[in-house]
Structure 1
Amino acid sequence: MTDAVQDWKHWHEQRTETVSAPYGPLALTGTHWLADYPEGHLPGIPGHWVDTPDAVLLTAAPDEGLTVDGQPLTGKVHLGADSGPVTDARVALGGRRLVVFRREGLWAVRDFDPDAAARRVFRGIDATAYDDRWAVPGRFTPYDEDRTVTVGNADGKERGLGLGGELSFRLGGVEHTLQVSVEADGSLWAVFADASSGLSSYRFRFLRPAAPEADGRTTVDFNRALLPPCAFADHFICPFPPPGNTLLSEIAAGERNLRDS
């Protein structure tokens, strides 16, 4: 077994462990935008939740079972956005973690429950075995300035998607280009679809190439194409591919779908 195959197997095993973890994406049972609940009562979640310009104001009675920073909440607390892992969320309800976040100026609460039905029925990720034909050289060309395009999202709304440049590569003698975002650590992120999307693969997938070298060189490895979070739970907000990111070729590599059984 080559090092590349062994590395891929390890990666696949880690991905399976991550998504099926007690507070992984399969545990997400709800995303509640506070603007949709002006009365302050969220479905299935006790307490009174009110959004303010700078924080979320949470009020709870002693018998409602909410804890903040591990202590029972009685009265009021101002909550900022949780920036760490789900396990570090300040608010809990028994084994559940209630993650406060903000996007496009709107506050929301995500409900992660280790006892979620999706975790109980999870049977793994259907992924194609490693094939070095799908790992090819690529070159990143940054835009003169970052761009934002409006794309549909899995929740039916349109939002801006920031793009930092183009990633070009050749597969099977055919030149391809993807518009990509640049992450804080310099790595790249692409949302793409291909000829297999919605057929033998999920309707779109993610690709995360390593940070390019100074001359723009990086590796485009579709063996590590990822299912987006919304493949595991309907309550994630995943952007659809931007214009030009639907490849005409079939990318028969990487994560394809959730296993049925």
Structure 2
Amino acid sequence: MSPAASDDLLQAHQRWHQARINELSAPDSWLGLRGLFWLASGDNSVGLNADGELEIPAPGAALGVVHVDGLYVEWRPVAGSGLPMVTDRDGAPSTVNLKHRTIFIAERDGRLAARVRDSGWAARQPFYGLRCFPFDPDWVIDAEWLPIDPPQIMELPNVLGELRPVKVAFCARFVHQGEAVSLLPVSFGDDGAFFVFRDRTSGRETYGAGRFIKAGTPANGRIALDFNRAYNPPCAFTAFATCPLPPPENWLAFAVPAGEMKWGKPEH
């Protein structure tokens, strides 16, 4: 790789990294989550617990209810009119602001959960950045994008201990230290491919439950895997996420010293 091409990659990586910092330090960051409550059919009461946090079902007097009928959700305050709530299935969800907290609805495989966010978290708990391996252009890999015929069904685990079947019709294949390596996307669409993987750094230098990579749209049977952009899943930052875990097919037998490292407050 020429020095000019390497510099271009570094500058693009620095822009990507800054966007990642902006995302994690924003008011709607994963770091602002304060609760995750799976909803039952019917009325789910919302109220304050002894610590002044919102809780569902309410431990005491309710401020209102989240009403569930199938996948239809409505916020019904104690006083006032009901408000239909759109889930996050197709994009940005509806929100309800209540007692300095925001409630929104997550939809996961036909199940509904209310998430509670503190939008003012950063004023009391500023984001202190990310630890990353130094950028290495050798970890920008030009991989083959190969069809799987017939497509296979992969069991994708998540942090809740559940398995979700995923149809996989392609794989990314490259050579590392003389050995052929394949990565299976857990999703693939018009905007590219999404991978969940772990490697020999997992649980040591990097987050133990693995990392994510988003790759662009394949072209001419090739796909670029930039491991410098391997990033921590939401569950590295909050206990209120429902992250997918790396399927066994994506457990790499070697270390990938690129991308984000374990997240944590720096020591002084």
**For the superposition of Structure 1 and Structure 2, which TM-score range results when normalised by the shorter chain?**
0.7 to 0.9
Deviates more, 1:175-184 or 1:115-124: 115-124
Show the counterpart of 1:221. Answer: 226
The question of 1:243 aligning with 2:260 is answered no
Gap runs ≥5 in structure 2: 1-5, 48-53, 56-62
Q: Structure 2: how far apart are the matches of 1:248 and 1:258? A: 23
One of 117, 122, 127 as aligned partner of 1:122: 127
Q: Is the 8 A contact 1:33 1:109 kept in 2?
A: yes
SS at match of 2:17: helix
Percent identical pairs in the alignment equals 30
Q: Structure 2: how far apart are the matches of 1:171 and 1:240? A: 23
Q: Structure 2: how far apart are the matches of 1:119 and 1:140? A: 46
Alignment of 1:102-251 (within 5 A): 102-116=107-121, 120=125, 122-144=127-149, 147-203=152-208, 204-213=210-219, 215-251=220-256
Q: Structure 2: how far apart are the matches of 1:259 and 1:107? A: 30
Counterpart residue identity of residue 64, structure 2 = G
Q: Structure 1: how far apart are the matches of 2:233 and 2:196? A: 9
Alignment of 1:10-21 (within 5 A): 10-21=15-26
One of 4, 10, 23 as aligned partner of 2:9: 4
Instruction: Report the alpha carbon displacement of residue 182 of structure 1 after superposing the two structures with TM.
Output: 3.7
Q: Is the 8 A contact 1:164 1:181 kept in 2?
A: no
Alignment of 1:46-125 (within 5 A): 46-62=63-79, 74-82=80-88, 83-85=90-92, 89-93=94-98, 95-116=100-121, 120=125, 122-125=127-130
Q: Structure 1: how far apart are the matches of 2:263 and 2:123? A: 11
Q: Is the 8 A contact 2:184 2:195 kept in 1?
A: yes
Q: Structure 1: how far apart are the matches of 2:68 and 2:134? A: 47
| TM-score (normalizing by structure 1) | 0.84
CA RMSD of aligned residues (A): 2.5
Q: Structure 1: how far apart are the matches of 2:25 and 2:129? A: 8
SS at match of 2:252: coil
Q: Is the 8 A contact 1:186 1:212 kept in 2?
A: no
Q: Deviations over 1:206-246 (max 9, x none)?
A: 11111101x32111111111111111111111111112211
SS at match of 2:131: strand
Q: Structure 2: how far apart are the matches of 1:176 and 1:118? A: 45
The question of 1:40 aligning with 2:44 is answered yes
Instruction: Report the alpha carbon displacement of residue 148 of structure 1 after superposing the two structures with TM.
Output: 4.0
Q: Structure 2: how far apart are the matches of 1:252 and 1:119? A: 33
TM-aligned CA distance change 1:195 to 1:54, over 3 Å: closer
Instruction: Report the alpha carbon displacement of residue 104 of structure 1 after superposing the two structures with TM.
Output: 1.6
TM-aligned CA distance change 1:164 to 1:230, over 3 Å: farther
SS at match of 2:258: coil
